Amino acid sequence: MNYRHAYHAGNFADMMKHGLLLVILRHLLRKPAGFCVLDTHSGCGLYDLDATEAQKTGEWREGIGAFYDAPTPSETAPEELTDYLSIVGSFNAPDSPANRYPGSPALIASVLRPQDRLICCELHPDDARILRRNFRDQPQVAVHERDGYGALKAFLPPRDLKRGLVLMDPPFEKTDEFDTLATAMRNARRAFPMGIVAAWYPIKHRAPVRRFHDTLRDMGLRDIVDCSLYLRQPTDPARLNGCGLTVIAPPYRFEDQARVFLNSIAPILSPDGEGYAEVTRIVEE
C-alpha cells in the first residue's frame, strides 16, 4: 500500500468526484428521513495543502488551486459549482490564502443532519489514525481501520436507515481493481437495494473503462449513469487523461446536474483548455 491521498488532495479528480458527490448528497438531504453514507476508501478526511506531501506534487494547484485564485465565481456560474466551492471555502479562513481541502469524509460530514450517519473505512494505519482524529467530536461519524470492500457485508444494509449512498474510491494500485470494483458495486446494490452506489475510476485509455461498463451490464445491473471528465483525448495510456464516476440508481435529474457541473469545471482544469465532459446512461432503469 504505497498510495497516500495527501499527495493528490484537491486535484482535478477530487474536484470532479466531490462536486458530483455533493449533487447526490443534496438530493438525499431533500427528504427529512435520515440517510447513511458508507465511504469505503476514506483517506485522511481533511488535507493541509501547505503540507510537504501536497507541496511536493503541487497537483492541487491545477485543481482547486485554479478556483482559489478566483474565489468569487462569476454570476453565471451554476449552482452545482457555487455550492461545491462554498463548502470547500467553509474549511478555509475568509481572509487568508486557502490551504485546506476537505476529502470525501469531511465534505459529507459537513452536510450531515442529526438524523444522518457516515461510516468511513480506511486501511492505511497512519491515514486511519488521522481520519479518526479528524472526526473524534462528531458522533454521527464512525471510523473503521479496515478493508472497505469487506465493509459492504458488515455494514449494509445500514441499521435503522433505509436511504443512502455507498461511495467507493479505491487507489487503483492493483491491476484487477476494475473487476474488484464491479463485483463490489453489485454486492453493494444487492445488500442495499434502496441505496445509491457510486464508484470513482481513473481514465488512462478507454478500453479498460469499456470493459468495466460491459461487466456491470453483464451482471444484470440496471439504472446506471457514467460521468467522465477528460483533461485531453485519452490517446496516451501512460498518462492520467481523466477520470470517471459510475453511479447506480442516481437521483432524479442527476444526469443534467452532473453535466452542468462537469462542463463548468472541465475547461478550467485542463492545462491547455482541451478538457471536456461526458455524461452517459450506460443501462436504463
Q: Is 18 annotated as a binding residue?
A: yes
CA 187, CA 93: separation in Å to the nearest integer? 41
* Pattern 107-136, ligand SAM, x by CB under 6 A: --------------xxxx--x---------
Residue 275 in the binding site for ligand SAM (CB under 6 A): no
Cite the beta strand spans of 23-65 per DSSP E: 35-39, 46-48
Q: Is 169 annotated as a binding residue?
A: yes
CA 196, CA 224: separation in Å to the nearest integer? 10
Integer-rounded Cα radius of gyration of the chain: 18
Residue 202 in the binding site for ligand SAM (CB under 6 A): no
Residue 104 in the binding site for ligand SAM (CB under 6 A): yes
Near ligand SAM in 212-271, by CB under 6 A:
none
Cell numbers 497512519 correspond to 126
Task: Decide if 268 contacts 67 (C-beta within 8 A).
Answer: yes
Q: Is 148 annotated as a binding residue?
A: yes
* Pattern 155-174, ligand SAM, x by CB under 6 A: --------------xxx---
Cell numbers 511536493 correspond to 56
Catalytic site residue from 39, 83, 116, 169:
169
Q: Is 270 annotated as a binding residue?
A: no
CA 61, CA 12: separation in Å to the nearest integer? 9
Burial of 255 (0-12, 13-18, 19+ CB in 10 A): middle
Q: Residue 223 catalytic?
A: no
**Residue closest to ligand SAM, measured at CB:** 103
**Any idea which residues carry the catalytic annotation?**
169
Residues that bind ligand SAM (CB under 6 A): 1, 3, 5, 14, 17, 41-43, 103-104, 121-124, 127, 147-149, 169-171
